[in-house]
């Protein structure tokens, strides 16, 4: 009886032994993913739609403002608190947000915002409206540093 158990144990070990290095690699790969360097995030600040009115739009504090320290993103009369950030594919993030808007009488509502890197100063932004992607989204370029300072100083005063 002990001989049969010994044979089964030996057979099992012979089957499992070749798989042990794979298990080690898998654990190492998972650990590497957890300790991966910082992922892409758009810069803090003001963004505006590129085009002939870009400078004027930036001067009026842009179309979108991102503040990672406060976990806040806004545009127009809508301000959203970032409740969750997910890295989608490299150079792309998904934000689960809770927003407030003047036209909703202060009642918070949930939306999703997708941000994708186009280049170092330009992002593509798309957001849900009433929980659905109804609008196509668009490009936003980082406003010049001098206008970023004006916006930052204006926020400090208010």
Nearest Cα to Cα of residue 104 among 130, 127, 83, 128: 130
Of residues 120 and 13, more confidence is placed in 120
What's this model's pTM, rounded to 2 decimal places?
0.71
Contact, 73 vs 80, CB < 8 A? Answer: yes
Running DSSP on this structure, what letter comes out for residue 34? H
Q: Find where tokens 């490009």 sit.
A: 139
Q: What is the overall mean pLDDT for the chain?
A: 79
More confident residue, 17 or 149: 149
Is residue 157 pLDDT above 70, yes or no? Answer: no
Q: Using one digit for the tens of pLDDT, what is the confidence trace for 71-125?
A: 999 987 889 999 999 997 899 999 999 999 877 777 899 999 999 999 999 999 9
Question: Quick check: 98 and 86 in contact, CB under 8 A?
Answer: no
Confidence of residue 152 (pLDDT cuts 50, 70, 90): confident
Residue ranges covered by each domain of the chain: 2-34, 45-157
Q: Which of 72, 16, 13, 24 is nearest to 46 (CA)?
A: 72
Percentage above 70 pLDDT, the chain: 73
**Alpha-carbon span 80 to 65, nearest angstrom:** 10
CB 73 within 8 A of CB 93: no
Nearest to 94 by CA among 74, 109, 76, 114: 114
Is the pLDDT at 25 greater than 90? The verdict is: no
Is the model more confident about 43 or about 61? 43
**What pLDDT is stored for residue 38 in this prediction?**
66
């Amino acid at each position: 009886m002990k001989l049969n158990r010994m044979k089964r144990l030996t057979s099992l070990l012979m089957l499992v032994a070749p798989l042990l290095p794979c298990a080690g690699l898998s654990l190492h790969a998972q650990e590497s993913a957890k300790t991966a360097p910082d992922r892409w995030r758009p810069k803090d600040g003001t963004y505006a739609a590129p085009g002939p009115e870009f400078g004027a739009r930036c001067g009026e504090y842009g179309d979108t403002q991102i503040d990672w320290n406060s976990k806040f993103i806004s545009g127009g009369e809508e301000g959203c608190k970032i409740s969750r950030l997910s890295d989608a594919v490299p150079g792309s993030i998904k934000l689960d947000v809770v927003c407030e808007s003047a036209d909703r009488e202060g009642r918070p509502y949930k939306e999703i915002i997708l941000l994708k890197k186009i280049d170092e100063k330009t992002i593509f932004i798309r957001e849900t409206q009433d929980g659905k992607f109804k609008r196509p989204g668009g490009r936003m370029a980082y406003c010049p540093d001098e206008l970023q300072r004006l916006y930052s100083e204006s926020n400090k005063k208010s």
